[in-house]
Amino acid sequence: MTESTAVYIGKVVLPIKEIKEDDDDTAHVKPDAVPQIQFMYSTESHDFLIDQLLLQDQGITYGLFNTPDEEPKEEAPEEDEVDENGEKIVKPKAPKAERLPKHILVPEVVREPKMHYYTVPRLGSYLAVKLEYNSCLFEEAFDQAVVDYLDVNTKTIEQEKDRREFEEEQATLKQEKEDAGEEFVPEAREWPVISIPSYKTQKVQYVVCMNTLGQDRCFSDDQKLSALRCIQEYRDRWEALEKENLCSDVNAKIERAEFNAHYKEHLEPMDISELDK
């Protein structure tokens, strides 16, 4: 796809302190810690990078995270045009601009004085791509999702009860009006849509780096575009998959709770009775 010499992935993390056996669960936290990049994965030729740190003032890579991503610009709607007969001219909609991740491309690393090296530099190109997504797979998000599910379930049951009572009242009033020979005007009532709120999320940031060091060439436009599209697709699928997994975890917890409640109410007395025999 890109014919890279190497690919390596780092995560934006907060440095932590060493802890002792009797420390509490927050002893590792540094209150004044500054985020840094820790490389966690790499192709075999660059496995020396795993666990290496890249500080904010080292090189150019952290610049991907120093400024917010640009929001896609919304084009102003075009004014309607009419033909000679006064009919509106239907124009094909312009395709939306492709959404691609923020990135830095250095065509030739030895000509970039700010580059940071972990080994002897060689001729070639460097591409760093920001991979940022909203993660919902953490304990607080799970707990809140369970609360939201139960709340929505309760409200839905209450609304269905209110709806049935309302429909029965309307049916009774209609019958009374018809029996009296009067016109029945039904009462219009709107029922709000009850939906589960969006999951609680926290931002997770990675950087996908690749180079052509030793090849003395720059990534072609097609190679760069292919890499950006692949990372964007991976990011979108990752975020969607986490939502699917959280939904599955919540449903499993609810099912276990319902089973336990059913067991305690209906089956546990029978089991205790059997044991007492």
| 50 in Cβ contact with 105 (< 8 Å) | no
Per residue of the chain (277 residues), give pLDDT as tens: 899 999 999 999 998 767 777 767 666 667 778 999 999 999 999 999 999 999 999 999 999 999 877 766 655 556 667 666 767 776 666 667 788 999 999 999 999 999 999 999 999 999 999 999 999 999 999 999 999 999 999 999 999 999 999 999 999 999 998 999 899 999 999 999 999 999 999 999 999 999 999 999 999 999 999 999 999 999 999 999 999 999 999 999 999 888 887 777 777 777 677 676 6
- pTM listed for this prediction: 0.79
Q: Give the residue among 6, 12, 66 at the shortest CA–CA distance from 39.
A: 12
Q: What is the pLDDT of residue 227?
A: 97
d(CA 8, CA 210): 6
d(CA 253, CA 144): 13
d(CA 140, CA 143): 5
